[in-house]
Amino acid sequence: MADCLFCRIIAGEIPSKRAFENERIFAFHDIQPGAPTHVLLVPKRHIAGLDNATAADAALLGELQLEAARLAKELGLANGYRTVLNVGPDAGQSVFHIHLHLLGGRHLAWPPG
Ligand code: 5GP
Ligand code: ZN
C-alpha cells in the first residue's frame, strides 16, 4: 500500500534498522524503543491489523510469533521477553499494518499500562 508507513519501510523507501528478513517477514528496530530491545515484526503483505486477518493468514501469524522467539534468542533475551499485538484505539494501535512487538532487556510489568 503506497500510503502505508510500514509498507514503505519494507520497500526500503524509509530507512530502518533491520533485524531479520525472509520472503514473508520483515523485522526492524522500533524508532522509539519501549525497552532496551524493541523489534517490530511485520508481514511483507499488507494486513491492517489482527481484526483484518483471516484463517488464510494463520500460518503467517504463527510464523511471526516463532520468528520473534528465534530473534529473542539471537538478541540475547535469555531472561525473558514479551510479544504484543496492539489492536485498535484502546490498545493504542497507531500504525495500521499489523506488527508484532518484541520487547525485552528489562523487567516488564504486568499488566501493561
Ligand atoms: P503501535 O502503537 O501501532 O502498536 O506501534 C507502532 C510502533 O511503530 C511504535 O512503537 C512506534 O514507535 C513505531 N514506529 C512508528 N513510526 C516508525 C518509523 O518510522 N520507524 C520505526 N522503526 N518505527 C516506527
Ligand atoms: Zn502496509
How is the chain split into domains, by residue range?
A: 5-104
100 CA from centroid of ligand 1 (Å)? 11
Contacts of 71 (CB under 8 A, 6+ apart): 19, 20, 27, 39, 41, 102
**CATH H superfamily, domain 5-104:** HIT-like (3.30.428.10)
In angstroms, the Cα distances linking 108 to 61, 79, 112 are 23, 11, 8
Whether the CB-CB separation of 83 and 100 falls below 8 Å is answered with yes
The ligand that comes nearest to the alpha carbon of residue 101 is 1
Mean pLDDT, range 37-50, rounded to an integer: 98
Q: Which amino acid is at 40?
A: L
Query: Which of 97, 99, 101, 107 is labelled catalytic?
Result: 99
pLDDT grade, residue 100 (50/70/90)? very high
pLDDT grade, residue 113 (50/70/90)? confident
Q: What percent of the chain has pLDDT over 70?
A: 100
Task: Provide the whole-model pTM.
Answer: 0.98
Mean pLDDT, range 6-32, rounded to an integer: 98
Ligand 1 pocket residue status of 28, Cβ below 6 Å:
yes
